[in-house]
């Protein structure tokens, strides 16, 4: 009996202990499930309602950080700029700003220059970063890319400085010449000489102002708003007539050739100005008793036929280092010759903008001492009209960039016109 009683008591005690252990294990499991784990902190949605939608429509790069500096949400633009790598904010100054804002709740903003990663160009990426608290535990970082805005501002400053310098030269000359006329009022020959110089400077000032107006117009206007089929033969004839006096003074023969009855779809005034600038440059930079050839032809391309207008001269040519910059505003290959011919350095910049706004390009082949060939390549009337109807808004820089370097002379009918007799429109 004693043995049986002892066994029963032991079994009862074991059952009680098993029940207690099972109950404790169940309570512990419930507490463990209710406790937030490190994984759940990052996988469960923790953004306040509506914030995710707002961030998705922002143009700025957006990054949301939690209390452990881990990225909870990041826009695709943030990844594209290289701000987020491996789930962490990779820019240390921005990370420090986020920590300071999390500590005191103050909104902070700073502009930074970040290195471009993976480009190998060493250019800085200008950004504006703004950090603000988002709720009690999160921090919102908004980053705006200012690189393009700074580039445009630099171009504007350079343009204003160049315009000021170019305007100052003829205006100052007119002021000095007017004083010289007053001092030489008793000398008719001196007055006549100074008055002639004043006319030259006044003409130069007029040309500069007009080209500034033309450049502003081609940059701001949409050439396809008033587009029409423009006959290439008429553009060539107008360009030749525009430069006939200057060419006659230097005994330069102008000859036209190539394929007839071609048309371009675009703004007639802008196209005439672009081709006129090319022919005028060819005449101004050619020696006396030489030829300038203008020829047009059709090029078949998969995306639509193009019209190619080439202007070839037998002038001084352009060096390789100058070919890379001749389409820049106010850049002159030979400043002394430009002053003598009244050049402003804006003609080729206008040509480039007109070509780009019409969906084309302008290229140059040149060899020092052998002359130059400028080629204006534009879509033919039918192809350009169809493209305009499909894409009404064309950007000024939408055309292919001008490639100023050709190792071999282009195959153009303009070369044949150099030996042809003069053609009178």
Residue 250 CB neighbour total at 10 angstroms = 13
Residue 202's pLDDT is what?
87
**3 state DSSP class of 303:** coil
Please give the helix or strand (H or E) that residue 382 lies within, else none.
helix 381-390
b/e code 304-335 from CB counts within 10 Å (16+ = b): eebbbbbbbbbbbbbeeebbeebbebbbbbee
**3 state DSSP class of 176:** helix
CB 47 within 8 A of CB 63: no
Task: Please give the model's pTM, rounded to 2 decimal places.
Answer: 0.54
**3 state DSSP class of 50:** coil
What are the phi and psi torsion angles at 305 (to 5°)? -70, 150
Q: CA Rg, the chain, in Å?
A: 37
Cα 33 versus chain centre, distance: 57
Angstrom CA distances, 374 to 204, 318, 338, stand at 24, 11, 18
CB 212 within 8 A of CB 346: yes
For residue range 98-128, list pLDDT tens digits in order: 899 888 889 999 888 887 765 445 567 888 8
CB 295 within 8 A of CB 361: no
Q: Give the confidence band of 251 by pLDDT, cuts at 50, 70, 90.
A: very high
Q: Give the confidence band of 409 by pLDDT, cuts at 50, 70, 90.
A: low
Q: What is the mean pLDDT of residues 368-378?
A: 90
Parallel, antiparallel or unpaired: strands 291-299 and 253-258: parallel
- For 28, residues 6+ apart whose C-beta sits below 8 A from its C-beta are none
Q: What is the mean pLDDT of residues 267-295?
A: 90
For residue range 177-202, list pLDDT tens digits in order: 888 888 888 888 888 888 888 888 88
Nearest CA to 243 out of 207, 284, 271 is that of 284
| Helix %, strand %, coil % of the chain (to 5) | 50, 20, 30
Q: What is the mean pLDDT of residues 158-185?
A: 81
Q: What is the mean pLDDT of residues 207-226?
A: 71
Q: What is the mean pLDDT of residues 134-152?
A: 85
Nearest CA to 206 out of 48, 342, 77, 107 is that of 342
Higher pLDDT, 310 or 214: 310
Q: Which residues pair with 15 in a beta bridge?
A: none
């Amino acid at each position: 009996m004693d043995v049986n009683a002892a066994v029963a008591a032991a079994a009862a005690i074991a059952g009680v202990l098993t029940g207690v252990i099972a109950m404790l294990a169940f309570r512990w499991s419930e507490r463990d499930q209710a406790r937030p784990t490190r994984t759940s902190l990052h996988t469960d949605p923790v953004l306040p309602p509506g914030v995710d939608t707002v961030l998705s429509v922002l143009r700025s790069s957006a990054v949301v950080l939690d209390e452990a500096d881990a990225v909870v949400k990041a826009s695709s633009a943030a990844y594209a700029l290289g701000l987020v790598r491996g789930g962490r904010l990779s820019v240390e100054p921005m990370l420090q700003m986020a920590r300071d804002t999390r500590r005191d709740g103050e909104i902070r903003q700073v502009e930074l220059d970040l290195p471009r990663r993976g480009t190998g160009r060493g250019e800085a990426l200008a950004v504006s970063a703004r950090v603000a608290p988002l709720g009690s535990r999160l921090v919102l970082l908004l980053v705006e890319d200012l690189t393009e805005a700074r580039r445009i501002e630099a171009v504007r400053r350079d343009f204003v400085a160049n315009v000021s310098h170019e305007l100052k030269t003829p205006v100052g000359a007119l002021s000095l010449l007017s004083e010289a006329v007053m001092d030489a009022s008793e000398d008719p020959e001196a007055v006549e000489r100074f008055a002639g110089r004043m006319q030259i400077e006044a003409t130069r000032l007029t040309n500069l102002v007009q080209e500034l107006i033309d450049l502003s117009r081609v940059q701001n206007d949409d050439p396809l708003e008033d587009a029409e089929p423009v006959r290439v033969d008429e553009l060539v004839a107008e360009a030749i007539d525009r430069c006939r006096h200057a060419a006659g003074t230097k005994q330069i023969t102008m000859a036209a050739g190539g394929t007839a009855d071609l048309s371009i779809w675009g703004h007639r005034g802008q196209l005439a100005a672009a081709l006129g600038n090319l022919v005028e440059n060819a005449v101004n930079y050619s020696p006396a008793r030489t030829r300038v050839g203008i020829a047009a032809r059709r090029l078949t391309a998969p995306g639509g036929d193009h019209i190619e207008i080439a202007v070839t001269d037998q002038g001084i040519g352009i060096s390789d280092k100058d070919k890379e910059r001749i389409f820049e505003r106010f850049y002159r290959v030979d400043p002394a010759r430009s002053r003598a011919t009244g050049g402003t350095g804006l003609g080729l910049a206008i040509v480039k903008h007109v070509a780009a706004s019409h969906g084309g390009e302008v290229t140059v082949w040149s060899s020092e001492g052998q002359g130059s060939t400028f080629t204006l390549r534009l879509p033919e009337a039918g192809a350009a009209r169809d493209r305009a109807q499909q894409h009404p808004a064309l950007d000024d820089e939408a055309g292919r960039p001008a490639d100023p370097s050709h190792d071999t002379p282009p195959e153009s009918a303009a070369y044949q016109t150099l030996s042809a007799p003069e053609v009178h429109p």
